[in-house]
Chain A
């Protein structure tokens, strides 16, 4: 499952290894982007999703629960309306 590129990223710092900008995108697009791209970070690393569709407040943690990835939390964005969600790839 782990590609050479993933292996390179295994030693990444605790911050997000990948940021997905889904601002302006309506559900389910932010969730699709997360599902498509979480495989680009190595297991144990963190993906950050920026989104402003209110449905993501429920759907990001719900997707993590369904897919057994670890939902680390959400923070309000400082400069624009929306949230930054952090998800740790579990497998």
Chain B
């Protein structure tokens, strides 16, 4: 079985599993308490915070741990809006790219319900945000926040964050960078004011997110006050998982360059060879400025769900942005924003331990699966349309 869905969840790194078990032994007490057990838990939590801060290039007290990447994104967006709404500004204006993760778009929509204006900046056919449209929107009156992901989670295209960051800085607008797709795989882009990441996407356990807020950025919790995590995240933190997540991030970061070279080569094989092996197959995303581990394509005239099921049967675990393969009945908003074909969609995202043999086997299996499925779709005869 080849697991090719690292962008949904990277298999947990062995070092993180070990750290999790150790932390269950040593790091279970309340880190806010003054007794010996509490102080030990506090020490471990502070150490995890230092580890994450070192990799994200910020101060430890700027880092808070959340319950997920989604919670980090919600808090980043709503906390920035909360801090900057005023009688003069009103509810403010937020700029997002059209291909942000649903957590960012949903948080923006949530703010919109309370009167905040939201501008959605479009992307080109590779999924790269339109920098001119984005920065023009940032320059609008009463803009309180701009949100641009480091790289796209569905097609892997790296976003021009440094360019956008310069415009945000000039306009005095904080920039939230959702780095969930790239954390542990590339350093965070320069110029962020707030950053989010998600443990299970870089080889840590699920249930841990990271929210980093630069000291100079005004941020106010949109939730009831709670003294945990620098007053940013309510509730007793999942300390063992946090400790394991920090170890996983360090582990991924240490292995980053080797993994980048290996995975980029393997995804390039799929990008280059699949269109020749499978007629009417379109590969999405920027061919060069992209994450190393993600390659996404659409197979014309096929149902994405059927492809995922057939590939699973053949021993390959992949995901799909096609409507029929999602729980919303809506096609991927990322593919739609790109103007890309949404049906027959497959996202292959390679975990760090992927072997060349498994990718070769995947490429060898695809033509048969596709022609078999195409032969069975509706009443379609295999004619010149393929």
- Pairwise interchain contact B380-A58, C-beta atoms closer than 8 A: no
Task: Among B323, B335, B341, point to the contact of A63 (Cβ < 8 A).
Answer: B341
Whether B301 and A28, one on each chain, are in contact in the complex, defined by CB atoms closer than 8 angstroms, is: yes
**B377 interface residue (CB < 8 Å to A):** yes
Q: Which residues of B have CB within 8 Å of A61?
A: 339
A24 at the A/B interface (Cβ < 8 Å)? no
**Cβ-defined contact, B380 with A53, below 8 A:** no
Which chain B residues in 282-313 approach chain A with CB under 8 Å?
282, 300-303
Q: Which of A26, A28, A35 contacts B344 (CB 8 A)?
A: A28
Q: Does A59 contact B (CB under 8 A)?
A: yes
**A18 on interface, CB distance cutoff 8 Å:** no
Digit string of A52-91 for contact with B (CB within 8 Å is 1, else 0)? 0111011101110110000000000000000000000000
CB of B385 to closest CB in A, whole Å: 4
B340 contact set on A, CB distance < 8 A: 58, 62
Is the C-beta of B15 less than 8 angstroms from some C-beta in chain A?
no
Evaluate contact between B342 and A59: CB separation under 8 angstroms: yes
Known: A28-B302, A66-B341. 7 other contacts (CB 8 A): A27-B343, A32-B378, A36-B380, A36-B385, A58-B335, A58-B339, A65-B339
Decide: B385 and A27 in contact? CB cutoff 8 A: no
Q: Which A residues fall within an 8 A CB radius of B? A: 26-29, 31-32, 35-36, 39, 53-55, 57-59, 61-63, 65-66
In the complex, residue of chain B having the shortest beta-carbon distance to the beta carbon of A28: B343
**Which residues of A lie under 8 Å from residue B344 when comparing CB positions?**
28
A20 to B5, CA, bound (A): 37
Q: Which of B301, B336, B341 contacts A57 (CB 8 A)?
A: B336
Q: Which residues of B contact A65 (CB under 8 A)?
A: 339
| Chain A residues whose C-beta falls within 8 Å of the C-beta of B302 in the assembled complex | 28
B303 partner, pick from A28, A36, A39, A66, beta carbons under 8 A: A28
One digit per residue, 1 when the CB lies within 8 angstroms of any chain A CB and 0 when it does not, for chain B 135-146 equals 000000000000
Q: Which residues of B contact A57 (CB under 8 A)?
A: 336
Q: Which residues of B contact A58 (CB under 8 A)?
A: 331, 335-336, 339-342
A27 in contact with B324 given A54-B331, A55-B342, A58-B339 (CB within 8 Å): yes
- Which chain A residues lie closer than 8 Å to B385 at the CB level? 32, 35-36
Q: What are 19 contact pairs spanning A and B, CB under 8 A?
A: A26-B303, A26-B323, A28-B301, A28-B303, A29-B377, A32-B377, A32-B385, A55-B330, A55-B342, A58-B336, A58-B340, A58-B342, A59-B342, A59-B343, A62-B341, A63-B341, A66-B282, A66-B300, A66-B341
Smallest CB–CB gap between B105 and chain A, Å?
A: 17
Give the top 9 A-B pairs by smallest Cβ distance, nearest first: A28-B343, A35-B385, A27-B343, A62-B341, A55-B331, A58-B336, A55-B323, A58-B342, A55-B342
B-to-A contact residues, CB < 8 Å = 280, 282, 300-303, 322-324, 329-331, 335-336, 339-344, 377-378, 380, 383-385
Main secondary structure of the interface of A (DSSP, over half): helix
Residue pair A55, B339 in contact (C-beta under 8 Å): no
Contact B323 A53 (CB under 8 A): yes
Given contacts A27-B342, A61-B339, contact A54 B323 (CB under 8 A): yes
CA distance A12 to B7 in the complex (A): 51
CB distance from B301 to the nearest CB of A (A): 5
Instruction: Please name the residue on chain B nearest to A25 by beta carbon.
Output: B378
Q: Which of B280, B343, B377, B380 contacts A55 (CB 8 A)?
A: B343
Contacts of A36 in B (CB 8 A): 380, 383, 385
A32→B379 CA distance, assembly (Å): 10
